[in-house]
Amino acid sequence: MLCLAGLQGGFAFWDMIPFMKGILTTAILCAFKKVYWEGSHMAHFENKLIKKFQQLLLILLLFIYIYGCAPALEEKQFQPPETVLSDNPCLYSESVGARSQGYLYKQDNTQWYYYINGDNNNESLPANWRNWWYVYLNGVPVDREISFTVYNGGWPLYYMPVYSYDEVNWYRLDESEVSELEGYTWHILKKFEKPAVWLARFYPYSTNDLNKYLTKIKSNVNVRLSAIGKTRQNHPICMITITDFTNPDVNKKRVWIHARTHPGETPPSFLLEGLIDYLLANTTDSKTALSKLIFTIVPMQNVDGVMAGNYRSNTDGDNLEVMWYYDPYNPSQIDAGSPLEVVALHETIQRLISSGPQFTIALNLHSANTSANRHAFFITHFGPTTRGYSDMESSLWRKQVKFMNNVAYYYGAQFIEPPARDGGRDFLNREYPEKWWWASQKDSVMAITMETTYGRAGNRHNWITPQDLYELGIATAKAIVDYNNSLK
């Protein structure tokens, strides 16, 4: 019995990849030409042409059937590793990776094609949201090169994908193995060493990875894990609180950090591991820092989006970054139309503001699609009074520049973009978290977005690795400590 779902999937693939239509059309024309020149009689010509069309139709139907049904069969061959369950409500009980939304087609063992789809398989979302892909190839030959082509990307900027044989150890492809084609298309030509291969746009960091890290740190005396809310898919939103709990909070300052608002932006997760490990290292410096500071960290705001394999949105298609809706006359009141993931963060911040101690920093971690050689950077706001900004606006800008310079000092000034002379007021035009912080706390909280990057970034190791991001996290932790030490 012909697989109905297979036919539907096959025809969808036929509609999505125009070059397949071109191949069939060319084949028909070639068949016509061959029969025309070989045929000596019109009857023979008609019979041969009919037979050629029948053969081509059979091949097409077979292709549609295989494409539609084979992926489902292939998927059953892969069983992801089990995740250890925990009674702690902050840990994720599901074994879910970060596979992307899209369609994988294997023409044969040496020819693979992947079509990136929109978040939640919604093609109506903006094209530049199609930037995350993470796929599993099974049955890869180890005695020859394979061709893997990625179609329908949303960004034209050059990057270097990664691969793994176990989803634990990841390696960069060599530049000689990757080429960028027209139409936001990338082509990989490589001989792999094992028949099971994972390929991804960048180093993945899934809920499984977060589970492992939370399990590693949860018994530390300076760590408390809590679930501050639930997502639309009923997954916990975790918050990590790090401080010296034996020291009273009354004289401490509080730091807010959140990451993975955009689920496909994985670099901040590696940065956070470096930052947290530095704070928990039990050194003289880390002990002193935790005696004075409380770090409240939400490592993965958009859990649903990560589990769904999305790049930009949650499973409702919401871009959480610009949905901090609030009453402009009373910022403590969040709008009822805000997504649950935003409400959870906002209500937690409001509760901590009320209970104290005071927040001094609010760090919003992201990753930007940039040219391969651009460094990590910060998005500043406002500017100096000499450029027409008020004293309070200029105060926020100066604090941001001070913090940026601290990060550059510890990580290397050559690896951090210098601050802009004028950050402007554009952030006030959309509902960013920094807009809410400004409306609520003005310059008393240095709220800023930090953007890591995916490429070389002038990096000493050429293409950025998780270790580079880990070291950036250490530098960020030191910069936070220095910034707070400088406050009166």
**Among 404, 354, 350, 357, CA closest to 376:** 404
According to DSSP H, which parts of 293-339 are helical?
303-308
Residues 293, 359 within the same domain: yes
Structural domain includes residue 84? no
Contact (CB, 8 A) for 232 and 339: yes
- Domain end, chosen from 179, 200, 221, is at 200
Residues 386, 239 within the same domain: yes
pLDDT at residue 333, rounded to an integer: 87
Residues 479, 395 within the same domain: yes
Residues 158, 226 within the same domain: no
Tens digits of residue pLDDT in 441-453: 999 999 999 999 9
pLDDT at residue 315, rounded to an integer: 95
Name the packing angle between helices 18-38 and 42-77 (round to 10°).
150
Residues 215, 73 within the same domain: no
351 burial type by CB count under 10 A (0-12 exposed, 13-18 middle, 19+ buried):
exposed
Structural domain includes residue 323? yes
pLDDT at residue 72, rounded to an integer: 37
Structural domain includes residue 272? yes
Structural domain includes residue 93? no
- Domain end, chosen from 139, 165, 200, is at 200
Local structure of residue 374 (DSSP, 8 states)? P
Tens digits of residue pLDDT in 3-31: 434 434 443 444 444 444 444 444 444 44
Contact (CB, 8 A) for 308 and 207: no
Judge if pTM exceeds 0.75: yes
Tens digits of residue pLDDT in 46-86: 444 444 444 444 445 434 443 444 333 333 332 333 333 34
Q: CA 361 from chain center: how many Å?
A: 24
Residues 213, 183 within the same domain: no
Q: Cis omega before residue 384 (within 30°)?
A: no
Residues 352, 217 within the same domain: yes
CA distances from 126 to 119, 123, 153, 154 (A): 9, 8, 11, 8
pLDDT at residue 372, rounded to an integer: 87
Q: Supply the range of the domain harboring residue 187.
A: 102-200
Residues 220, 162 within the same domain: no
CA distances from 42 to 45, 51, 383, 458 (A): 5, 14, 81, 68
CA distance linking residue 384 with residue 382, whole number of Å: 7
Q: What domain count does the chain have?
A: 3
Structural domain includes residue 220? yes
pLDDT at residue 10, rounded to an integer: 45
Residues 138, 184 within the same domain: yes
Residues 158, 285 within the same domain: no
Residue 118, domain CATH: 2.60.40.3120
CA distances from 175 to 121, 179, 202, 309, 485 (A): 30, 8, 14, 26, 44
CA distances from 158 to 41, 99, 184 (A): 55, 21, 9
Residues 252, 220 within the same domain: yes
Residues 115, 245 within the same domain: no
Structural domain includes residue 294? yes
Residue 393, domain CATH: 3.40.630.10
The conformational region for residue 417 under phi > 0 = left, psi -120 to 50 = alpha, else beta, is beta
pLDDT at residue 98, rounded to an integer: 59
Structural domain includes residue 90? no
| Per-block mean pLDDT, blocks of 10 residues, the chain (488 long) | 41 42 42 39 44 47 42 33 45 60 91 95 90 94 97 89 96 95 93 97 94 94 96 94 96 97 97 98 98 98 94 96 94 88 96 96 96 93 97 98 98 93 94 97 98 84 92 98 94
